[in-house]
Amino acid sequence: MATKNAQTLIPKLTKDNYDSWCIRLKAFLGSQECIEIVQYGYDEPESKEVEDTLQEAEKQVLKANRKKDNKAKTIIYQGLDEAIFEIIASTEISKAIWEALQQKYKGADRIKKIRLQSLRGEFELLQMKASESISDYHTRIMVIVNQIRRNGEPLTDARITEKILRSLDPKFDFVVVAIEESK
């Protein structure tokens, strides 16, 4: 019964949600105690003969690592649709699957730089709409801030606050002045 409930918690990867999917899946893999296998992998013996020479404790560690790897693969597979699954179907270990998905959706450094540049521009151009609540505007800003941070650029809370105060609708000018004076 617990397994069925766990399966419903696994988000589906789409072409547009890799960053949030990755965060959620890492958390889920961590809760299932198999995130380390996905991130760092494990040493698989080169052959059956090499495996037979392992000591009993080493065989137990290998067995536990294989079990965690299979568990991680199962979790990752549940988060993929058929088309995406076909891309990684021939990949045998969870670390390689994770890296293949990263390569496909995260993109190369050049693409990441372009994405960051676009997000920076979007952040700088944000202005509160006259009909928008402060809460909605804050949410809109934080969505972009989190995307910028996920792509590796740190944004300080002070810079975000300054941006919010600078770009509020003119009807809030008296509040902005009061906040700036109270500092």
pLDDT averaged over consecutive 10-residue blocks of the chain (183 residues)? 55 84 93 94 90 90 94 95 90 94 76 86 93 91 91 89 87 73 67
Q: Is 100 exposed, middle or buried (0-12, 13-18, 19+ CB in 10 A)?
A: middle
Q: Please give the Cα distance from 135 to 141 (Å, whole number).
A: 10
DSSP classification of residue 145? H
For residue 1, the model assigns a pLDDT of 40
- The four Cα atoms 142, 147, 148, 152 give a dihedral, to 10 degrees, of 130
Locate the domains of the chain by residue range.
Answer: 2-105, 109-182
**String of DSSP letters for 30-99:** HHTT-HHHHHH-----SSHHHHHTS-HHHHHHHHHHHHHHHHHHHHHHHT--HHHHHHHTT--SHHHHHH
Write out the H or E segment, with its range, that includes residue 1: none
Q: 145-152 long-range CB contacts below 8 Å, 24 or more apart?
A: 147/19, 147/119, 148/116, 148/119, 148/120, 148/123, 150/19, 150/23, 151/112, 151/115, 151/116, 151/119, 152/112, 152/116
For residue 69, the model assigns a pLDDT of 96
Question: What is the Cβ-side half-sphere exposure of residue 52, based on CA atoms within 13 angstroms?
Answer: 3
For residue 183, the model assigns a pLDDT of 63
Q: pTM (2 decimals)?
A: 0.65
